[in-house]
Amino acid sequence: MKIAVLYGGTSGEREVSLSTGKGIIQALKENGHEVTGIDFHPERLDELLKLRVDLVFIGLHGKFGEDGKIQGLLDILDIPYVGSGVLASALAMDKAKAKQIFEKNQLPVAKGIAIPVKRHTQQEIIDLIQGKFTPPYVVKPNQEGSTLGLTIVKKGEQLPEAVKNAVQSDDMLLVEEFISGREFTVAVIGSQGEEQALPVIEIIPKNDYYDFDSKYKPGGSEHIIPARISDSLTGQLQTYAVRAHQLLGCDVYSRVDFIVTEAGEPVVLEVNTLPGMTPTSLFPDAAKVVGWSYEQMVEQFVTLSLKNKQ
């Protein structure tokens, strides 16, 4: 088939997307498809308007890629694409909205508040946070990926800088209780009630938490698959992952991140509708355990996407 791969983009995750795009393009070519790679930029929309392809594989991450905007444009152009649609993409990117949906459906989430940045001065934001939280707690942009702009505030004097970092990339700031525990992630594949969870991965970051460097630098973290946990906890995480995927209306594939507290209680952190596909990424690692090569995994996404569009 003729498949276009969108990668790069303009978000803070551009470098990650370049690596994701490279992997996807190579895999599609090895699978026998005719591939066009497009380093996407909102100022070059004519590249999309001229597309004559059977499918678009979105290898973008973050804003203008994972938030539903590019999906909406492709819908208008009537071009099929791999992955979740507009609404699911937008909801997953909006962490506060996703948490509301999870909480109403009995999925455990961290306690927190969302603060509209434009309605408050920076000092008012600081005062509001100090009035509701005591360290440690987490300050992060509401719509950003790869932990960009995230700070774990361990001492009160760190708060002004944490707020400054978070508001640089978003108009909504999210503050959450800090939950100490082990980090896990579950890849989900499938759609329309036939989703399946892949083996649970335990993430052991080299840094204090699973930050940008831990995610994307070689040796930044250790991935243990299957995770060293009980069968019951494995089943619980997989059930929660599929449920989160379904509640947001995700399609074809996603990855759901968790913290498991020291008491053994899972907490849903977020859903990634376009998880990374780099050499250090988690989804390909999970696929490998169930016997899929990178190329086979990518072809699964293509097949599922075309089946859903028919």
Positions marked catalytic: 13, 146, 216, 255, 257, 270, 272, 276
Q: 229-267: b or e for each residue (b if 16 or more CB lie within 10 Å)?
A: beeebbebbbebbbbbbbbbbbbbbbbbbbbbeeeeebb
Give the strand pairing for 34-40 and 2-8. parallel
For residue 215, what are its two tokens?
Answer: 């995610």
Angle at alpha carbon of residue 116, lines to 113 and 121, rounded to 5°: 110
How far is residue 168 CA from its own chain's centroid?
20
Q: Where are the beta strands (DSSP E) in 51-194?
A: 55-58, 112-116, 137-141, 151-153, 172-177, 181-190
Alpha helices in 115-225 (DSSP H): 122-132, 159-167, 212-216
Strand order in the sheet with 137-141: 112-116, 172-177, 137-141, 151-153
Question: Is 176 in contact with 110 (CB distance < 8 Å)?
Answer: yes
Longest dimension (CA), the chain: 59
From CA 133, how far away is CA 91, in angstroms rounded?
26
The total number of residues shown for the chain amounts to 310
